[in-house]
Amino acid sequence: MPRRIALVASLVTLALALHARPRTAHAQSADAPTRLGASGWRAPSGGADASRYGTASPMPITPTPNQVAPAQALPAAAPLPATTRAQVTKGTGTLPNESGQVWREYDITPYTLRNTATANPEQAIVDWILRETGYEAWHSTPVGLLSADRKVLRVYHTQQMQAVVAEIVDRFVSAPAQNHGFGLRIITLKNPNWRVRALPLMTPIPVESPGVQGWIMAREDAALLINEFRRRTDYREQTTPNQMVLNGQSQVINTMRPITYTKGIILNQQVWPGYQPDMGQLEEGFTLEFSPLLSTDGRTTDAVIKLRLAQVERMIAVQLEAPSTVAQNQRAEVQVPQLTMIQLHERFRWPTDHVLLLSMGVVATPGPEKPNPVMDVLPLPKSAPRADALLMVESTGTVSQAAPPPTGQVAVPQTASLPERTFHGRY
């Protein structure tokens, strides 16, 4: 019996020792499950035993230097959202007329045929209709339509709106007003004390633009005022003599001139001295757009005036650090412009037999000053020039025309000074 107990104990000890021995790499490779990149674990035989490993997330394995990391599967792409579209129908096939809208077609050839200097003369009629009726009236209720070509203006709207449109079209196609002209003067005076003697001759009118004043005066008083201006040493007229604009057309006077300056630097070690200047450009001067329109009886004039005046008072120098491989403490100078800008965009109405006078106030001069041989040579600090800028508009009446052209040709209105008439912008 003792010998049997000792034999059993030896067998148990041997079994425990064998169980505790580390398994070889070959045995481990044979018994361990095969790992897949992102699809969990499975048995090497793929049999029934594979189900017991489930789809649990695998433990990360760090590859040895001679091994390649297992490829990881890309995550599934999110589904694209469904495309949404507004519900669209063919409608009833007819224009809505719940508010009594009617269709009208206006013949505008009497105006477009004589206006040969503009690419799209019909656009001026559309713009004046939008100014008179408002932009929203054609893009809200009731449903409206406004379209034009060189021959016909098509309008779909209420009877009240058709009456307004008809009045505007009549002002363009009116024969008595087709050759009516307006003269423009842009005047600068350094001292605004001209008002002392001129105010009794003028009647003020309301002006919405801040800093701008407006008056009307008789033609005789306007002629006296011009003669008084010419006696002053600070008087200067910025426009050419006999600057003429025909009724229903637009005139743009542009004296803008470019000014180039260094607005920044671009570091570049491939060029000397290690940076490149970043150049900018400004425009200095004034731009005036004038669009007049006579009433059907010729007694009053409506005009849209757009004026933009800009002046560079000075350039403020700023030193920027621009280190390079040669000079670590190198600096570069850039310029920051100090600007003065004035803008006016307003509509005026005044009697045709009167003269309209507008003052922008003491602002930057719209043009270069006259050279002063004494002051220019003195080393004195000079500030940006200032002046009281005046705009004078006067009706010149009917402009004479040349002899009628041969049959089949279109006559071009002849004026004392026929400038290029173009339309820039809409409002």
3-state secondary structure of 112: helix
Distance CA 23, CA 32 (A): 11
Distance CA 47, CA 49 (A): 5
CA 173-174-176 angle, 5° bins: 140
Cα dist from 109 to 93, 154, 172, whole Å: 31, 13, 10
pLDDT tens string 236-269: 988 776 788 999 999 898 989 999 999 999 998 8
Tell me 123's DSSP state. H
Best CA proximity match to 398, nearest among 416, 386, 424, 378: 416
pLDDT tens string 358-393: 999 888 776 555 554 444 444 444 556 788 999 999
Cα dist from 335 to 48, 256, 330, 382, whole Å: 82, 21, 17, 18
The burial of 204, by beta-carbon neighbours within 10 Å (0-12 exposed, 13-18 middle, 19 or more buried), is given as exposed
Look-up: residue for tokens 């095969």?
Answer: 34
pLDDT recorded at residue 279: 95
pLDDT recorded at residue 123: 94
427 residues of the chain, pLDDT tens digit each: 556 666 666 666 666 666 555 554 444 444 444 444 433 444 444 444 444 434 444 444 455 545 545 555 556 666 666 676 888 888 888 899 999 999 999 999 999 998 887 889 999 999 999 999 999 999 999 999 999 999 999 999 999 999 999 999 999 998 888 889 999 999 999 999 999 999 999 999 999 998 899 999 999 999 999 999 999 999 998 877 678 899 999 989 898 999 999 999 999 888 888 899 999 999 998 899 999 999 999 999 999 999 998 889 889 999 999 888 888 889 999 999 998 888 899 999 999 999 999 999 888 776 555 554 444 444 444 556 788 999 999 998 886 543 333 434 333 333 333 333 333 333 3
Best CA proximity match to 209, nearest among 99, 363, 75: 363
3-state secondary structure of 161: helix
Distance CA 189, CA 387 (A): 5
Q: Please state the φ and ψ torsions of residue 186, each to the nearest 5 degrees.
A: -115, 115
pLDDT recorded at residue 369: 53
Helical residues (DSSP H) of 95-236, grouped into ranges: 109-112, 122-133, 159-173, 195-198, 219-230
Half-sphere exposure of 401 (CA within 13 A, CB side): 14
Q: Which residues are 341's β-sheet partners?
A: 310
pLDDT recorded at residue 75: 62
pLDDT recorded at residue 85: 80
